Structure 1
Amino acid sequence: MALRPIGNALPTTPDRPKKHPKIAVAAATLKQQQTPAVNDENLVPPPPSGDATIDYVSSENLIPISDPEAKIQSLIEDLDSKNWIKVCEALNDVRRFALYHSAVLFPILGKIMLVVTKTMKNPRSALCKTSIMAASDVFNAFGDKLLDPSTSDAFDGLVLQLLLKASQDKRFVCEEAERALVSMVASMTPLPLLKKLKGCVSHTNLRIRAKAAVSLSNCVSKMGVEEMEEFGMGEMIEVAADLVNDRLPEARDAARSVATTVYEALTKDAEVEQKMEVWQSFCQSKLQPIHALSILKIVKA
């Protein structure tokens, strides 16, 4: 028969080894470090991104600045603010300056483009898109002035960043960047811009290379025969030959467009029956045989 405990007596259990005081303190400290503190802040849900509160104002709806001379003094500081909403407002001020007060903005335009390029790298979509819209208005307002020695380097960085944004997967940012690149080509003289874009079509990033090829093709399509000859038709066809077998369809399509434009300019005054002979002679004189064959197939097709 089993014996039951009498009164308040408890069943005996084996003695547990006592922890050394120092070990116990260390264990308690470690546990405290690993356990996040629970307070009111932990219970508050994170604030929304706020992108939905930003209105993307079209260029047509922007208004002049009441006192541009005073506003320009704080513009760069506002663009560098830690408050992203204030930066968006400053970017819209850049757009207003470009559209209505370009003479006031031009002396600091190089600095402005550097800041716009930096803002374009921000992961917050509202900032990124607004900075791209600012780039479009700067292109439309200043055109060839952006190639001035004081702004040329800043322009190069801005264009490269736009090409990168145009090649990314976030659709509304990508589309805005593509529109900015179209504005760039439309607002500038083709020949000097083509010289800038030529370096981008050999970029190691295939997506940047493809977007640069599209802009280069659009640029070539605006050129007259004299401009093409000044740049060098042979150099143009070499660019097309480098891109015609590229990995991305955009680059290949751009190469075919450039080759067709060069063909039309080169054979413009030739008799119909002589056009292909002139074209074949030109390609074979400028390109290696395998590349010449690829370009000749484009026009024959």
Structure 2
Amino acid sequence: MNSTALLNADLHCHSTVSDGTLSPEALAARAAANGVELWALTDHDEIGGIARARAAAHAAGMAFLSGVEVSVTFAGETVHIVGLGFDENDPGLRHGLESTRGGREGRAREMAAELAKVGIHGAFEGALKYVGNPDLISRTHFARYIVEVGACSDTAEVFRKYLADGKPGFVPHRWASLGDAVRWIRDAGGVAVIAHPGRYHRFDATKEYALFCEFRDHGGRGVEVVTGSHTAAEYGKYADMAIEFGLAASRGSDFHSPAESRTDLGRLPILPGQLTPVWSLLQERIEPPPAARAAA
């Protein structure tokens, strides 16, 4: 497989197993139709869709990497770490993700109670209608319900008005530590990647620098540079930070839904050429489709 930055790799997206609206099979078909050559499904704190995603990717002729997006608390904020190319049967990883998922229902019920105080009733039951996996109920599911009842026009407006820090429906949750998340991924044979660093708007330059330093010190090896959550200017900023910290660069749309996502699967610009693509660190973990294996 071509390991250069020109490869159309999409290594960040979500299915109905967490907070996406398409099944793993539908995501794989969409990715293949958009020219994706290397694909990973990275559901939030959950690896239950990997086997389905692998089978669908190979059926569609795509190479595949196992993936997950782990929720982390760092400096009082929620940060996401993508894991790629790990053994999904590793007991340490599975136990860690299970512990991270714990507590979501209690948090969701608190969110519903807070939303009821501002006139949005039945939010817990309403959010559940959008949940493929009840263990992973999230703010995104609440946002879809709030749009359904007409309180907001789209999910972006919901987050601005109700679900961001300091708004009526926001309830914090303490996730995994940065060190734990990186260790789970690393010990399972994978590579840890900082997801969409440009989204952590509450971090000043000092906190962002600390995140990169501690991530690297724990054994993290990559950062998303080209992602649907970044602007063109942020592509350049995080390309520079990847070089400064000696990190490989990843590329992923962060696709959740045809109706909600800014960028479709496989439609991102290529990685800047001076960077080391994260998939060059994972050549032995990339799973080619059966036809490619037979021809090798």
TM over 0.5: no
Q: Please identify the structure whose Cα radius of gyration is greater.
A: 1
What TM-score comes out, normalization by structure 1 length?
0.26
From the two aligned structures, give the one with the greater strand fraction.
Answer: 2
What TM-score comes out, normalization by structure 2 length?
0.26
From the two aligned structures, give the one with the greater helix fraction.
Answer: 1
Question: Which structure exhibits the higher relative contact order, with contacts defined as CA atoms closer than 8 Å and separated by 6 or more residues?
Answer: 2
